[in-house]
């Protein structure tokens, strides 16, 4: 990519990381025995802790830089190498610039690489189709509130459910209830109720309004399906590129 990353996201990354750097250094140095105002070290032991604190800050920013680089590389792949054109479009469009800023900021804080890639995809699609600005901002704000377990549940609900037999009947119906969700992804069990509550509150899933059973049947909303489609599309593109 050459100088693509520095030219494309340097200003945005600096704006995001600058205030965080100042705050982290103050917290770390104060905690580990350094006075950020007077520059005084609390003895030899304090100095050792300060050095560890500096390593901690360096590691923090190195991980942030890695995430932003992944965002940029993904955008480059999705834009077929025309990323500079896609990024430069933001300089002429305040709304698009807002999408760029929000997606990069959210990506820099994300612990999930597929989520970072999806954020890059949101920006590229928006840059290629200005009519998607409002949708892009909504998706970005939603992804900011979703972590890996939330995304796992969304992907489960986007699939074909396992047959389920309601208690007291012999009829098997393919639908998403608690049992079939956990059959597909047992690891969600400890936090399933919390995950359902959060995703429902965000308007990405809901109870089936035609449900006549004694327990909730869950379905994705239209926007929930759009969000999962975005995640899947970017994942497929990233896989094809890596092959």
Of 5, 154, 172, which is closest to residue 76 (Cα–Cα)? 5
Look over the chain and give the mean of its residue pLDDT values, rounded to a whole number.
77
> What is the phi/psi pair of residue 112, to 5°?
-115, 115
Q: Which helix (H) or strand (E) holds 223?
A: helix 222-242
- Residues 95-124: pLDDT tens digits? 888 998 899 889 988 988 989 999 999 999
pTM (global) more than 0.75: no
| Rounded Cα distance, 223 and 94, in Å | 25
> Where does the chain show beta strands of DSSP type E?
163-165, 172-174, 205-207, 218-220
Q: How confident is the model at residue 149 (pLDDT cuts 50, 70, 90)?
A: very high
Element holding 153 (H helix, E strand): helix 148-158
CA 57 to chain centre: 22
- For residue 30, pLDDT over 70 is answered with no
* All domains of the chain in start order, with CATH: 4-144 (no CATH), 148-242 (1.10.10.10)
Predicted local distance difference test score (pLDDT) of residue 218? 93
DSSP state of 41: B
Q: Where are any strands of DSSP class E within 75-232?
A: 163-165, 172-174, 205-207, 218-220
Length of the chain: 243
Q: Could you tell me which residue, 42 or 77, shows the higher pLDDT?
A: 77
**pLDDT band at residue 240 under the 50/70/90 scheme:** low
């Amino acid at each position: 990519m050459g100088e693509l990353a520095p030219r494309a996201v340097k200003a945005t990354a600096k704006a995001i990381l600058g205030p965080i750097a100042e705050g982290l250094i103050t917290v770390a140095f104060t905690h580990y025995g350094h006075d950020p105002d007077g520059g005084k070290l609390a003895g030899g032991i304090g100095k050792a802790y300060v050095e560890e604190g500096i390593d901690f800050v360096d590691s923090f920013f190195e991980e942030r830089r890695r995430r932003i680089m992944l965002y940029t590389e993904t955008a480059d792949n999705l834009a077929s190498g025309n990323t500079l054109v896609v990024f430069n479009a933001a300089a002429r469009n305040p709304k698009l610039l807002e999408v760029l800023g929000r997606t990069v900021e959210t990506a820099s804080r994300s612990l999930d690489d597929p989520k970072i890639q999806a954020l890059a995809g949101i920006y590229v699609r928006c840059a290629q189709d200005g009519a998607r600005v409002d949708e892009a901002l909504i998706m970005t704000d939603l992804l900011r509130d979703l972590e890996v377990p939330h995304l796992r549940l969304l992907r489960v609900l986007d699939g074909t459910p396992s047959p389920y037999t309601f208690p007291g009947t012999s009829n098997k119906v393919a639908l998403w209830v608690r049992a079939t969700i956990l059959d597909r992804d047992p690891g969600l069990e400890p936090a399933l109720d919390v995950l359902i509550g959060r995703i429902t509150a965000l308007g990405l899933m809901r109870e089936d309004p035609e449900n006549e059973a004694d327990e909730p049947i869950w379905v994705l909303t239209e926007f929930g399906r759009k969000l999962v489609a975005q995640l899947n599309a970017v994942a497929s593109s990233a896989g094809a590129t890596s092959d």
